[in-house]
Amino acid sequence: MLQDFRLVRHYQSLTDAAVDNWHRGYREHELRFLIDGYLLALRNDSSFEAHEIHRLEQEANRFLRDPANFELPEPEPEVTSRW
């Protein structure tokens, strides 16, 4: 689990971008490029320790492997009133 609030924000940005791109038609191997590029930028920024970025990478890859993260929510059935 990510503890640093800055890493959590990066995780949220990364996973939101992955889901957005998935719905635009990109697939898993392309999303991996997105994650790799994002992590490379963080490594070059030197704002985090290597172990923190590694943990972020693990969490992002776990997110990517879970198919439930990329499903569209089912619309709620419409309720009709008989009154």
Contacts 24+ apart (CB under 8 A), 50-58: 52/4, 52/7, 55/2, 55/7, 56/2, 56/7, 56/10, 56/11, 56/14
| Confidence label for 71 from pLDDT (cuts 50, 70 and 90) | confident
Task: Return the pLDDT at 3.
Answer: 86
Encode pLDDT of 6-49 as tens digits.
Answer: 999 999 999 999 999 999 999 999 999 999 999 999 999 988 99
pLDDT (mean) for 65-73: 85
| Confidence label for 62 from pLDDT (cuts 50, 70 and 90) | very high
Distance from C-alpha of 83 to C-alpha of 81, rounded to nearest angstrom: 6
Task: Return the pLDDT at 63.
Answer: 95
Per the listing, tokens 């889901």 go with 19
Q: 3-state DSSP call for residue 38? A: helix
DSSP 8-state secondary structure symbol assigned to residue 81: -
Residues 6+ apart with CB under 8 A from 59: 1, 2, 11
| Confidence label for 83 from pLDDT (cuts 50, 70 and 90) | low
